[in-house]
A and B are shown apart, each in its own frame.
Chain A
Amino acid sequence: MANHAFPRPNMPGPQPVEATNVSAATAEQSVLLRASSGEIPDRIFKSAITSCGLAVLGVLVLIVYELVARSSLSWHAFGFHFFATSDWDPVNEKFGALPFIFGTIVSSILALIIAIPLAVGVAVFTTEMCPKKLRGPLSFFVELLAAIPSVIYGLWAIFVLVPLMSGYVEPFLAKTLGWTGMFEGPTYGIGMLAAGIILAIMIIPIISSITREVLMVVPQHQREGVLALGATRWEMIRVGVLRNARAGIVGGIILGLGRALGETMAVTMVIGNRPEIAKSLFAPGYTMASVLANEFSEATGDVYLSALIEIGLALFLVTIIVNALAQLLVWTVTRGQPARGNV
């Protein structure tokens, strides 16, 4: 390394040659010397780097500011009623977000119900059961699911999942579970149930990769200890592994929920986009994210736009709270490592 090329700091101690140079230097030269010593560049560097760090904070503040400022019109016009009424009438400028909130919550819960057992099962299989050789490829394939863009899920859902639903799954559900009232009505395929299923496929990799990480943190001697007490393999996994990793798994699930709440494209393409609250899961619905996707660029009138931004603000706040909660839970288990949703 050619270290003579680097500027040297002012070194204290006996350096007669440099010392006399400094004392003999003019004011201008001494400034130059100090500059080359790295003190000033260091200060510049530190402030540049710190401002990059601040930028991260700044982005969050900017998001909050823009959302709050631009939704104030709607907030003043409707107040809390905005979240409790279900009229969505752009022509008469009457806006209520209830159907969208309902759609977001129902589709996300549906997704969680389907995804949790599958994701935890895959994580348990990869960490506890499968041969070491399979572990890498298997987690790679599951993580590939996370790399598929939302719009491609939507495309696939329109042309494969929806026909499958209307042809087979929904008639079957209507026949067997129709009496509950949740599975009745025309079986178009498009609707809340399809949205829930596509969301489930999309959040499985998040939940399962975090569960896997958390399970790997469980110390080996826990497992050995439980097995030595005479537990079967299943008991060992339940008592020795899953129970210890509870907080982290819940964190992963909440992180998956956060993703499901904010997911836009795939849901927009299959949910049917009708602002109504229906009991049947076959009926079309609408989510907060998909109303933004469909109507934002066509919104005419300030109140309309402001109402949409207020929906965005609500969505933002909910996902922020959900994610912060999840991060804290995962942090308690993995000690400060970020929870990774994707690869």
Chain B
Amino acid sequence: MTGVATLTVVLVLAPLVAIFGYLVYRGIGSINWAFLTQLPKPVGETGGGMANAIVGSIFILAIASVIGVPFGVGAGIYLAEFGRNRFGSVIRFTADVLNGVPSIVIGIVAYSIVVLYQKHFSALAGGVALAIMMIPTICRTTEEMLLLVPTALREAAYGLGVPRWRTTLSIVLRTATSGVITGIMLAFARVAGETAPLLFTAFGNQFWNLRLDQPTAALPLQIFVYAISPYDEWHRLAWAGALVLIVLIVTAVAAVRYVVRRGSFGTA
């Protein structure tokens, strides 16, 4: 019996090792200064990089965070501080369900609320799509973290005559800051690799773009386009891009785990 269970572990971890191993093996050789600083070259020319995709990804993620983080944290505060009732449960359930909506469907929604009005594919639309995906995750982790703050702290603040808004923001939220940031990082790591919702929102771009209303390159999109192309040179770039992306995400996740382990919010 133990043998069978151990075998399942081996079978599950084998793809993990295979993916990481192959990623490093194929990707590492192509990561150099040019890859990180140059624009993609046209087909047939060697060299070139994904600088615009890296910057584009950061740009889109920044837009997503600006929209998603306040709403997510706000909704989390609502659930923890005012949501101990029926309506709170409805929102809690909605957030959990929203978490499971396929990312491609969120892409359609961002397309119809942003792209159709702007009449172009745009960085803003990509940011909106990713923001919608961040909100439920941030909301639920913020709620959990705020609930870990002892009620006695809130009562002490009220006892000193501090109004509720001030208590919530300066005492409860500040006490739970590291936990809330953990949640934000997790949501961030989750959407950083998303491709499907960007396909018809940010769309991709061969050049630099830092304008809200223009199509923008993103690392996952570029990897997708290069991976399904027939050119060896592009495959090489796809692997390098994938390695950069995974390093970013795994670093974020590992950092979060480290902080959570060390901090007083040992829920992981």
Contacts and interface: CB of A to CB of B under 8 A. Distances in A.
Interface stretch (B33-41, B44-52, B222-230): B222-230
Given A49-B77, A50-B78, A129-B5, A62 B199 contact: no
Contacts of B95: 56
Contacts of A57: 90-91, 94
Interface string B231-268: 00001001100100110011001001100000000001
Contact of B161 (A3, A204, A327): A3
Interface in A245-263: 255, 258-259, 261-263
Nearest to A147: B253
Contact of A42 (B13, B121, B163): B163
Interface in B87-114: 88, 90-109, 111-113
B196 A264 contact: yes
A48 B193 CA distance: 31
Contact of B220 (A151, A289, A320): A151
Interface in A36-51: 37-39, 41-42, 44-46, 48-51
A149 B194 contact: yes
B71 A122 contact: no
Nearest to A55: B71
B2 interface: yes
A219 to B, nearest CB: 20
B160 interface: yes
B12 A148 contact: no
A48 B82 CA distance: 12
Interface string B1-43: 1101111110111011011001100100000000000000000
B51 to A, nearest CB: 19
Contact of B101 (A51, A153, A316, A327): A316
B96 A149 contact: no
Contacts of B100: 255, 258-259, 262, 319-320, 322-323, 326, 341
A56 B75 contact: yes
Nearest to A136: B261
Contacts of B203: 297
Contacts of A32: none
Given A145-B16, A233-B1, A6 B9 contact: no
A223 interface: no
Interface string A120-132: 1110110001000
A278 to B, nearest CB: 22
A259 B196 CA distance: 14
B9 A138 contact: yes
A343 B268 contact: yes
Nearest to B113: A66
A234 B94 contact: no
A326 B100 CA distance: 10
B242 to A, nearest CB: 5
Interface size grouping (class) on chain B: 35 or more
B189 A289 contact: no
Contacts of A308: 108
A156 interface: yes
Contacts, number: 282
Contacts of A3: 160-162
B123 interface: no
Interface in B153-174: 160-166, 168-169
Contacts of B104: 262, 264, 289, 292-293, 312, 315
Contact of B223 (A118, A152, A159, A264): A152
Contact of A8 (B81, B106, B161, B194): B161
B97 A38 contact: no
In this complex, the member of A151, A259, A327 whose beta carbon has the largest number of chain B beta carbons within 10 angstroms is: A151
A63 B165 CA distance: 31
A85 B108 CA distance: 23
A143 B90 CA distance: 29
A150 B196 contact: yes
Interface string A309-343: 10010011001101110110000000000110111
A158 B227 contact: yes
20 contacts: A39-B163, A42-B165, A49-B168, A53-B74, A53-B91, A56-B71, A57-B90, A57-B94, A121-B9, A125-B5, A140-B257, A142-B12, A152-B23, A154-B224, A269-B228, A289-B196, A297-B200, A309-B112, A319-B100, A339-B96
Interface of B: 1-2, 4-9, 11-13, 15-16, 18-19, 22-23, 26, 70-71, 73-75, 77-79, 81-83, 88, 90-109, 111-113, 121, 132, 135-136, 139-140, 160-166, 168-169, 186, 189-190, 192-196, 199-200, 203, 220, 223-224, 227-228, 235, 238-239, 242, 245-246, 249-250, 253, 256-257, 268
Interface of A: 1, 3, 6-9, 11, 37-39, 41-42, 44-46, 48-57, 59-60, 62-63, 66-67, 70, 117-122, 124-125, 129, 138, 140-145, 147-156, 158-160, 201, 204, 208, 233-234, 237, 255, 258-259, 261-265, 269, 289, 292-293, 296-297, 308-309, 312, 315-316, 319-320, 322-324, 326-327, 338-339, 341-343
Given A3-B160, A149-B249, A319-B105, 9 more contacts: A57-B94, A59-B132, A117-B8, A142-B12, A148-B19, A156-B19, A158-B228, A201-B15, A324-B97
